[in-house]
A and B are shown apart, each in its own frame.
Chain A
Amino acid sequence: MSDLVRITVNEKVIEAQSGANLLQTLLDNGIETPHFCYHEALGPDGNCRMCMVEIEGQKRPQIACDTLVQADMVISTESENIMSVKRSILELELINHPVDCPICDQAGECKLQEYYMQVGLYDSRLGTQKVTQKKHIDLGSNVMLDQERCVLCERCARFTSSYTKTHELGIIGRGDHARIATMPGKELDNPYAMNVVDICPVGALTSKDFRFKQRVWFMKSTPSICQGCAKGCNIYIDHNTPKYEKGAIYRYRPRKNLAVNGHFICDDGRLSFKEQNDDSFKGTQSKNLHISPKKAVSKFQKLIQSEKNHTIIVISPSLLNEHIASVLEFAKIIAAPVFSPLERYSDDQFGDDILRSNDTSSNRWTIKALGIETGYEKFIETLDSTRLVINFNHNLLLEPDVILSNKLINKINVHFTTRQCRNEEDSELSFAYAPYSFVSGSCVNEEGHLQALNAALTPTDEKPDLLELLHILSEKKLSQTLEQIWQREMQNLEPFKGLDYYKIGNNGIALRSNNV
C-alpha cells in the first residue's frame, strides 16, 4: 500500500504514496484545493463537497478527500469544468451566510473569504430571504457560536467525538435549518475545547478571549513552544507591536508537529500567553522597593563576594537550555552548588493521555540529562548550611510554603524572576527578566525532543534577556547572545554538543535519550 507512485496533477507529475488520501497529497504538494470538512487530524467526512477534482476516467467530479491515490491517476483541480463546479458549490455555501465580514472576527483568516477570492467572484443571484439563526451562543469554555456563519462542516462536532471523546457538540435540525449545538443539558467543557475555534474554517466559532481584540492582519505569527508542561506543544505566538507602542501577545495557536503534539494544544497552554503580557513586575527591586539597575548590580556583586562558599543556586526546571547553560557557568565562577528540586513541578490532576503531562516543568529533561540535583531533601540539607540563596525563577522559592518560608527568612534571598515573588519584602534583591516569548532559545520535552523557541517580542530594559543580565553580572565573562552561547557554553553540555540553535528548525530534533 505504501509504494511511491506517480500521479499527474494539472499536467504536472508528482510523486505520492499509493493509497494515501488524495486531498492531503494535493495539500502536501502545495496544490490549493478548497475544502471545509476535511482536516488532517479528523479525516474525511465528505460533507462540504468543496474539494472536487476531475479524475480522468471518472464520469463525474470526485471529492479528493474520499479518493485514494492510485498509480498513474490524471487529475485536474483547475479545469474550467471543475472551477465552475467549485463556484456553484461555494455559491450554495454562501446563500444563507450573513456575509457580515466587517464585524466578523474571522475576517482575514476565513476560508469562505479565501475561496470566494480564489474560485468565486460572482454576483449574488439570491432573490429570496436568507435563513436566520442565532448569532451569539456561549457554548462554554470560551467558545462563542454564530450559527448563521456556520458551513456545517462538522469539524467541531467530530473533534469532540473523535479527539476528546467528550461528545458535547452535534447537529440539530435538518436541511438549511441544521445547526451546531451542544447536546441537551451539556456545555462544551473539556481541556481542549478551544481548538474548535482553530479548526472552524469560518467565523462560526470564535474565542471569547480573543474576539474583537485584534484584527488578524495586524498580527505577526512567531513559531514557539508552549512552556506549560513537559509535552512541549508547538505553538504560534500571535502578537502585534504597533508603531510607538508596546507590543502585546494576543493569542497562542497550535502549530502542527506530528512528532510532538499533532495539530492541537490544550486550553491551559493556549491561555498561558496572558502571563507573558503581565507587566506588573519589572526592573530591579530590593525589599519590595525599586532600586536602580546599577545599584542592584553592584549590590549583587558585593553579595557574591562576601558570601562566597555560603551560596547556593536554585534553578527552575522550566528554564530554557541557554539559560541553564549560562547559569551553570555562572555557578562555576562563584563556586556555588546548583539545585533544581522538582517539587511544585508536577500535578496529578493536570495530565491526561492526549497531550497534557503531569510534569508541569517544560525542560526537566535537560536538568536530568545534565545531572543537576533534583532532590528536595538534598536541597534542604544544603540550604540549612548556607546564607545566600540565588533563585532562578523556581516556583518553590517564589511561593514557598510555611516551613520553607521559615527557613528562608534567615537567608539572603536573591531572585531572578519573570514574575512577582510572594515574599517580596524578604527578598534582598530581585531582577526581573524577560519571559520566554521575548527571547529565542530552546528546550527539550519529556520525550527528548529538542525544540526551538523564537522571540515574538523584544525584551525591554526593565525586563532584559537573562543572558544579557548574566553577561553583565559576570563582568562579561558569560556569553551575551544566543549565537555566542551556542558556540561556547552550550558546547560544554553533553546533549547539545555539535548542535546549533539554527539547526533545530521548526520541527525540532529528537535527541538520544540515553543521555538521561
Chain B
Amino acid sequence: MIVKIVSKKFDITDAHTLQVAKEQGAYSALESAFSKTPSEIVEIVTQSGLRGKGGGGAPTGKKWSLMPQKGDKPHYLIVNGDESEPGTFKDRQILQYDPHLLIEGIIISAYAMNASEAYVYIRGEYKFFIERLQGAIDEAYAANILGENSTLKHKVNITIHRGAGAYICGEKTALIESLEGKRGHPRLKPKKPEPEFYFGNPATVNNVETIATVPYIVENGADAYRQYGTEKSPGTMLFALSGHVNNPGVYEMPYGSSLLEFINEIGGGVRDGKKLKAVIPGGASTPVIKANEDLACVMLDYESMRNVGSSLGTGGAIVMDEDTDMVEALKNLLEFYHHESCGQCTPCREGSGWVDNIVGAILDGVAKKEDLDTLLDVAKTMNGKTICVFAPAVSGVIEGFLKNFRDEFENYIETGRYVKTHVDEITEVACQTSLE
C-alpha cells in the first residue's frame, strides 16, 4: 500500500541537510524543469491530475493556469503550511524531514507561474519546523540555489511567514489577508475564475504537500504520477492516522486505498483489541463515518468519500474505539470551532458558539429533547450561507454525528450521562474497489 513519492527521504538520517538531500537526489528535477517552458510545466501538472492536498482537492494545474500570461505586475507563489486542522499533521513531516523537497518544488512552481517571490505561511506553533525549513532555506541561499545570486535559470526568494495562531488563516484568502498584515478574514469569492491577489498582484496559494509533489511529476512525467491512485484522484497522498490505533503516524499511499485496511494493516488495528466505532476520515472538519459494512468499502479518495456523505479533506483519519462517548467527542470538536470561528459572518460567529453551548448543556444534563432539533436547525442555517467553508464544515460535523449516533445523544439527554452502546464487528464484505 505504501508508495513513497513525497516521503521518499523521510527515513533517511539527516535528509534535511543540503548535503544528504543532494546525495539522495534533491534538486535533480530542476534540470528537467528548466529544459521546459513554464507553460509546459503547467501543462504537465494539469495532465498529472495533481489535486490540492490542503483539504479541498482542487486541481492544481487549473489553479496555476489562472495566473495571467501578460501584465507587468509581479506574481507571487504562496505556500500554505498553516496546517491547523485537528487530526492533520502531514505537512510538518515534509518540513521536518525533507525541507529541500519543498524548496525544490517552490523553485519549479515559481518558474511555472513566473513568480520570483514565494512566501511560506506556517502556523506559529510549528516553531521547530519553521526553524528546520529556515535552516534549509539558508543553506540553499548559501549554495546559490535561491536568491539574487542563484545560478539557476529562474531566481526565487523564499520568505517564511509565521502565523499568529488562527485556524482560519489556513483558508487561502484569510491567509493572504493575514500575510498582508490584516486580520485573517476570508474574502468574498470572485464572480468568475481568477487567481488570488496579494496586495493586488496575482498570486497562487498551494499546500506544502502539493508543492512538494511537483518535482516528482515534472521529473517523471504526468503518466508516472497517474500510475498511482484512481482516475479522478490520481497519485498519492500523505495520510495521517491518529486516535485509538496501535500505529498512529503519517503514511504515503495512493488515493483509492481502503480505509479499513489503512486502519487495520498499516495502523495495526484499534488499540487494546477493541472494536472500531467510528472514523473521522479527513481531519476534524469532515463528517464522521460509522463503523459498519459501508465503512468496510470506503476508499481513500474524494469520490468514494463523497458517496458515504463525508470528505477526504486533508487525509488525516481520526479513529474512535467502541468506548468513545460521541457526545463528548462532538463537544470536543465544537469547542474548537467555537474558539476558532473568525467571527466575520453572522451564521458562523453566533452559530459556532450556540451549537457548542447546546452540546455542553447535553453533557451538563440540562438539555431538553427539543434541543437536538435546535442543534440541527442551527447546523442547517450554518450551511451554505457564509463567505468561507468553515461554517458548512461545522454543520457537516454536527449532522454526521447526529445522523450516525442520534440515539446516544437522546440517551444522554434522558439519563444525563454516557450510556455505552453496542458496536458490531465489521464483517468482511465484497467491495467494489474504486482502485482500478
Contacts and interface: CB of A to CB of B under 8 A. Distances in A.
A151 interface: yes
Instruction: Select the residue from B166, B340, B357, B374 with max chain A CB neighbours within 10 A.
Output: B357
A351 interface: no
A47 B385 contact: no
B339 A92 contact: no
A186 interface: no
Contact of B387 (A47, A173, A176): A47
A60 B346 contact: no
B381 A175 contact: no
A49 interface: yes
15 contacts: A49-B347, A60-B385, A85-B385, A88-B347, A89-B346, A92-B349, A92-B351, A95-B350, A125-B370, A127-B361, A128-B361, A171-B343, A175-B348, A176-B350, A177-B343
Interface string A131-154: 100000000000000000001100
A175 B340 contact: yes
B409 to A, nearest CB: 15
A95 B357 CA distance: 12
9 A-B pairs with least C-beta separation: A178-B343, A176-B353, A128-B357, A175-B341, A92-B350, A88-B381, A60-B384, A46-B188, A47-B344
Interface in B355-411: 357-358, 360-361, 366-368, 370-371, 374, 377-378, 380-381, 384-387
Nearest to A125: B374
Interface in A202-243: none
B191 interface: yes
B314 interface: no
A91 B188 CA distance: 23
Contacts of A174: 166, 168, 339-343
Give the residue among A44, A173, A176 with the most B Cβ atoms within 10 A. A176
Interface string B311-350: 0000000000000000000000000001111111111111
A85 B386 CA distance: 12
B354 interface: yes
B352 interface: yes
Contacts, number: 102
Given A68-B191, A175-B353, A89 B367 contact: no
A204 to B, nearest CB: 14
Contact of A92 (B188, B191, B381, B387): B381
Size category of the A interface is 35 or more
A77 to B, nearest CB: 15
Contacts of B358: 127-128
A173 B343 contact: yes
A49 B361 contact: no
Interface string A277-293: 00000000000000000
A393 B345 CA distance: 53
B387 A46 contact: yes
B123 to A, nearest CB: 15
B274 interface: no
B301 to A, nearest CB: 24
A293 B366 CA distance: 77
B183 A171 contact: yes
B360 A128 contact: yes
A47 B345 contact: yes
Contacts of B341: 174-176
Nearest to B373: A125
A126 B366 CA distance: 13
Nearest to A46: B188
Contacts of B377: 88
A49 B344 CA distance: 10
B188 A175 contact: no
A25 B350 CA distance: 29
Contact of A61 (B353, B374, B385): B385
A126 B358 CA distance: 9
Interface in A85-144: 85, 88-89, 91-93, 95-96, 125-129, 131
B391 to A, nearest CB: 10
Nearest to B348: A175
Contacts of A177: 343
A93 B340 contact: no
Contacts of B374: 125
Contacts of A92: 346-347, 349-351, 354, 378, 381
Contacts of A125: 370, 374
A478 interface: no
Contact of B354 (A49, A95, A151, A170): A95
A457 interface: no
Contact of B350 (A50, A85, A96, A127): A96
A131 B353 contact: yes
B340 A52 contact: no
Interface in A159-179: 170-171, 173-178
Contacts of B360: 128
B173 to A, nearest CB: 12
